[in-house]
Every structure is written in structure tokens, then in C-alpha cells.
Chain A
């Protein structure tokens, strides 16, 4: 049996030494080696061999099942024009692919482990641990560092040091400028400013998502909820930009009895129209779409973290982690009787924002 490390490493406890004088407690040694059944019984070894081989064969079958699912089913399903039949075949194919690849991997893994545990040699080995602290090496490294500082003469020549620091500080600037311009692919505004605004503006019509048809006040009966986008969204030609703007500008429109409004702040008196009220659908917590509207309690629930907003109290947070109310969109009707926005949201939509002013 190998001896554990000797007492010269410096990390060894010396107080209260054991009887041998080296360790606090004498090493109990290893338990006696116990031979396995397959070591002494050739029959048992043969059985283990068969078990491992069976596991490998299961893996082979798994691979074949995968291949059958991938090629044979893939071909035949094309011959079925009927949609539901196609779905049936797709279901069978996915099941074969999953089950096949699972057994292909699992068979090899289980087989190798079983092989190692029952047939490969199992004698115990003890590997002595290296000393944890090598003081001499530490001192050598410290000396090398000192020599490097000395040889560069950085202490003696502060001009070199200062210009190097200045150069290193300036070097990342090109990257900053380039990454900043990635965001300016469209629009002139730099990104933090863009987050302050949506494309809602005075006179922009509220239209239905996805049809884009304008909405009359009479289209909403009490208790109605409608999912709304700004009409000028369609004027944006770039698909990516349209999605970005839609993500910020989505609005939920509700109508309730005007006497159900429990609180209206000064300055917000004309933000609703005959009980029709509109709010941003982007949760102020982490930006999930809030659209679970309960028409009797007037509660709006965010499905991600259960933040609950009360539409009757200007979307005040009544439960959950959200930090501030949902921004309300001021609305009115235009000359033709369609609902329009009075202005953009008066505060940034979405999650907590670094400089917020409700003014």
C-alpha cells in the first residue's frame, strides 16, 4: 500500500501526534479487497459479458429504429395527401426518432459502465496528494515579476507608463463607435432616446391588430377588450423595424362603465372617451405582454410573474413585482368618429427605465 505524503510539506498537523509520530490520527488503511462474483465465478463473468453485449445490441437496434423513422416514414408520409393522416405519420416519426436515439446512446453508456463495473480490474489505487503550498515556487514567481518590472524601467520612466495608459484607454473607442452605429441602421436617434418614444402621436388612429381597420367608439360595447396597433405602423417598410416599433406600441383597449373609474389624476381627465381606456401592453416589470383582462374586476394580469394592474385606477399595481403602473395612452375621437391618440405615451413604456419622468 502506498504511503500518504510525508511530513516535510509543512501542511501537516504536528500537535497531538498519533502513535507513529507523523499524523494526528494513524491512517486506517484501505478496507480488505473483496473479490466480485465475476472474479471468482467464470459463469458469472460470462453472464456479465452477455449483459453488456445485450446493451450494445439494444443500442444497435435504437440506431436502426432511428434510421427507419427518419427515412422510411419520411418517404411514405409524402404519399398521404390528407392532412390528418400526415399528422399521424409525423407523430409516429417523431416518436421513433426520439425513442431510437435515446436507446442508441443509452445502450452504449449503460453497457460501458456495466462492463467497467463487472469485468474490468477493480484493484484499489491510492494516489498521494501533492503538497498544497509550494513556497519556493511562489518566491520564484514573485522574483520573476520583480525582474520584469525592473527590466521594463517602468518605474524610472513615467512618460512611458502614462502614454501607455492613455493609449490603452483610447484603443477601445473604435469598437464603441462601430457598435453604436450598428444601432443606427435606421433612424437618426441614438438608442436611449428611441426607447423614450413610440410611434404613437397626436391624431394617430387606433387600428385593430392584425387587420389594421380603424375603430369607432361604438364598436366597443361595455366589457369589450380590443388589441390595438397604431395606424402609422403600416407605413414602415422595413420588416425588422416594423416589428421593433410594434413591440413598443402595442395597446390594449377596454371599455367599462365610466362610473367604474375609481381615480383620475389631474391632467388625465380627458385621456379616456366615454369609458374607453387604453394602456400599453408591455409589462413594467420585465416586459411581458399584459393582456389578461378581467372585465368585472378590471384587473389586468401579467402571465409571467403575476403582476396585477387595476384599469379602474389608472393601471395601478395591485399585486406582484411590477414597480410602476402601465403607461396609459391618451385617446379621443377624430372628426370622422374614429378613435385616435391624443399624443404619444407620456412616459417610456416597458420595464424599469433609468430616467423616468411622468411630467
Chain B
């Protein structure tokens, strides 16, 4: 205290005092504006407050039975706080939610809500907590993607479940990885960022958005070019090919043996 009293007549004391005052007022102002922004950030980016309100109404009417009145989750359905708009856009946009029936996993069906209602639901769920957003169009433009690089990434990260040709495959206890043929670019992207059902999450730190675009470009290229000849048999590899050769092939062999050994009339 004594030291301070001695130094108050120091030539720089005025400067120090001025700095202190500026810092205080500046800091207070900054804190005040952050509080304001924090209140505003409840409104997710790209959505209007009307959409959030409308989405809440739809949510209470259609989803709250399983996910709870405030999306906090119940025994029948998980909490949706922080799952993000991408998750809603995928689950509702592909018809998986609302669920058709209880089972090992939610099945795809014609969507129950239109684009506008899906966006409203997404806005509401996104307002509950930050989560993956609906991807920007830039990352869905397959013309900008590199299909061959995407193919390598697909084979390392996706092919073990979804099949090297993206035709899907079986998992444990009735669950399965669905076919990726004919799935919209947006939904493929959202599945990677949110990890629906038992699919692992491939966030942007693992597969950056540009790489996701490459993977989508690979899938779309594969889908458009078709097979290089012969029957694809669902692209299921040895399963369907083996079944065909064991039934049709063996029947042909037995038929030709009967013909070879029969007497001519």
C-alpha cells in the first residue's frame, strides 16, 4: 500500500490509470455484448424464429411421445439435445423418423414431412444445442469431387459395412448397413457427420468436408456408370453369385448329364 502511495505522483501514473479505466469499460462492454449474443445464439444459423416455433409445434405433436416434451429423451427414444440439424434432416428426410415400427433399426420409408416441415423440425432441434449443421451446397457438388480419391477413402472407411460397391450388408442381430445407391448427396453427407443408428461418426476432423465430397463423388460415379458387363446380381459379390451358380449352374449340369445319357428316340 505504501509503495502504491509513493508512486501515485509518478509521471506514468496517469497513463496507467487511463489504461485501467479503458480496460474496465471495454471489458464490461465486451461481456455485456457476449451475453446479448449468447441469448441470440439460441436461434440456429440459417433459420428464423418462426421456423423454430413451428418446428416445436410439429415436434410436440409427432416426436415428443418417444423423445420427451423437451427432447430430453425417454426410455423409448434418445435425447435430441445437441444432435444438430443434420441429424433431423437425415432421419426425417429419409423417412426413418418417425419410426414405422419398433425393430433392430429404423427403416427407410417415404418421408412423412415435406421439405419445409423437415427444415422447421431441424430448426427446433438445432436450437436446443449445437450439433452438426445441414451441409453447404459447396460440399455436395460432385462435379468438384475427385471420385478416385473418394474411392480410396470409401474402401478404407465405409466399404467394410456398406460393401465395396456401396450395396450394403448385414450387421449383427438383424441390423444392417443400407445400400447407398440412389441416396441423395445431402443424406450421405449427413449420415457421415451424425452417425445414424449404429453407424460410427465420421466428423470433420476425421474426414474433412472436401473428402466427404470426394466419397459422394465416387458413389455417384459408381452409380451412374453401371456394371462393365454381365449381371450385377445386386453387387452382393459371392453371396448372390454363389447362390446363382449353385442353383442354376448345377441344374444346367444335371440337365446336360441326363441329356447325354438318354437314348435317342
- Where the two chains meet, the residues of A that have a C-beta atom closer than 8 Å to any C-beta of B are 34, 36-38, 83-84, 87, 90-95, 97-98, 113, 117-118, 122, 208-210, 216, 218-227, 254, 289, 291-297, 299, 301, 303, 306, 308, 319
Contacts and interface: CB of A to CB of B under 8 A. Distances in A.
Contacts of B197: 296
Given A91-B226, A94-B230, A303-B160, A296 B198 contact: yes
A208 B172 CA distance: 27
Interface in B209-256: 224-230
A320 to B, nearest CB: 10
A257 B178 CA distance: 26
B109 interface: no
B39 interface: no
Given A87-B226, A93-B229, A94-B229, A292 B201 contact: no
Contact of B205 (A122, A220, A293): A220
5 contacts: A37-B264, A210-B153, A222-B201, A291-B161, A299-B172
Contacts of B259: 113
A333 to B, nearest CB: 15
Contact of B200 (A97, A117, A225, A303): A225
A95 B177 CA distance: 31
B139 interface: no
Given A98-B229, A301-B171, A301-B172, A291 B160 contact: yes
Given A210-B152, A210-B156, A90 B229 contact: yes
A290 B12 CA distance: 70
Interface in B176-224: 177, 195, 197-203, 205-206, 224
A36 B174 CA distance: 59
Contact of A37 (B152, B171, B198, B265): B265
B34 interface: no
Nearest to A83: B225
Nearest to A301: B172
B258 to A, nearest CB: 12
A296 B172 CA distance: 12
Contacts, number: 99
Nearest to A308: B172
Nearest to B195: A223
A201 B175 CA distance: 37
A112 B48 CA distance: 80
B157 to A, nearest CB: 6
Contact of A91 (B156, B198, B229): B229
Contacts of B172: 294, 297, 299, 301, 306, 308, 319
B229 A293 contact: no
A219 B224 contact: no
Given A84-B225, A210-B156, A113 B260 contact: yes
Contacts of B206: 208, 219-220, 224, 226
A230 B248 CA distance: 47
B68 interface: no
Nearest to B159: A291
Interface of B: 152-153, 156-157, 160-161, 169, 171-173, 175, 177, 195, 197-203, 205-206, 224-230, 259-260, 263-265
A93 B230 CA distance: 10
B228 A94 contact: yes
List 8 A-B pairs, minimum CB-CB distance, nearest first. A94-B229, A225-B200, A219-B205, A294-B198, A291-B160, A117-B264, A223-B201, A87-B225
Nearest to A319: B172
Nearest to B152: A210
B198 A297 contact: yes
Given A223-B201, A296-B197, A38 B264 contact: yes
Nearest to B262: A117
Q: Which of B157, B200, B205, B225 has the most CB of A within 10 A?
A: B200
Nearest to B211: A211
A224 B228 contact: no
Given A223-B200, A292-B161, A209 B229 contact: no
A221 B171 CA distance: 23
Contacts of A117: 263-264
A219 B199 contact: no
A294 B171 CA distance: 8
Nearest to B203: A221
Contact of B228 (A87, A216, A227): A87
B224 A84 contact: yes
B201 A295 contact: yes
B175 to A, nearest CB: 7
A83 B147 CA distance: 13
A34 B263 CA distance: 10
Contacts of A301: 171-172
B228 A91 contact: yes
B97 to A, nearest CB: 16
B121 to A, nearest CB: 22
B221 to A, nearest CB: 9
Contact of A295 (B198, B226, B230): B198
Contacts of A36: 263-265
Nearest to A296: B198
Contacts of B227: 91
Given A296-B197, A299-B172, A98 B230 contact: yes
Contacts of B156: 209-210, 227
A224 B200 contact: yes
B230 A95 contact: yes
